Amino acid sequence: MPELRRQPEAPRPEGERLPEREIDTELRRAEIYELKGALFEGAAATLASRDHAERNEDSFGHYPEVDIEAVFDGVGGHLAGEVASQFARDRLLHHYEHARTLVEAMNAEGQRDAWQHVIEGNSMIGAQEIQPSASKGGASDPQLETRSEASRARLKKIREKTVQTLTEYFEDLNPPPSVKQEAAVLYLGLRNLSEEIRDEGKRRDKRGMASTATGVKLIRTPDGHRFGIFWSVGDSDAFLERAGTGEVVRAVKNDNMLDGLVERQSVTREQAEHFADDPFLRRARFNLVSQALGMEDDPTPRIMIYELEPGDRFLLATDGLGDNDLEGRFTTTLVQKQGGSWMRRAEAVTRSAVRGIAQSEGKGWDDITVVTGEVK
**Would you say residue 99 lies in a domain?**
yes
Would you say 4 and 292 are in contact if contact means Cβ atoms under 8 Å apart? yes
Q: Is residue 133 part of a domain?
A: no
- The model's pLDDT over 297-356, given as tens digits with 9 standing for 90+, comes to 999 999 999 999 999 999 999 999 999 998 899 999 898 877 689 999 999 999 999 999
In a domain, 165, yes or no: yes
Do the Cβ atoms of 370 and 350 come closer than 8 Å? yes
Range from 13-17, 93-97, 250-254 carrying the lowest mean pLDDT: 13-17
306 neighbors 225 (Cβ within 8 angstroms): no
Residue 136 lies in a domain: no
pTM metric for this prediction: 0.92
Q: What is d(CA 122, CA 126) in angstroms, rounded to the nearest whole number?
A: 10
Domain count, the chain: 1
The CATH number of the domain holding residue 356 is: 3.60.40.10
Whether 250 is covered by a domain: the verdict is yes
pLDDT digits 0-9 by tens, 91-146:
999 999 999 999 999 999 999 999 999 999 999 999 888 887 654 454 455 655 56
b/e code 222-246 from CB counts within 10 Å (16+ = b): eeeebbbbbbbbbbbbbbbbbbeee
The distance from CA 366 to its chain's CA centroid, rounded to whole angstroms, is 16
The stretch 211-217 carries a mean pLDDT of 98
Residue 137 lies in a domain: no
* Chain centroid offset of residue 62 CA: 16
276 is in which domain, residue-wise?
4-126+145-375
Instruction: Note whether residue 119 is domain-resident.
Output: yes
The answer on pLDDT for 258 being more than 70 is yes
- Helices 108-120, 142-173: axis angle to 10 degrees equals 110
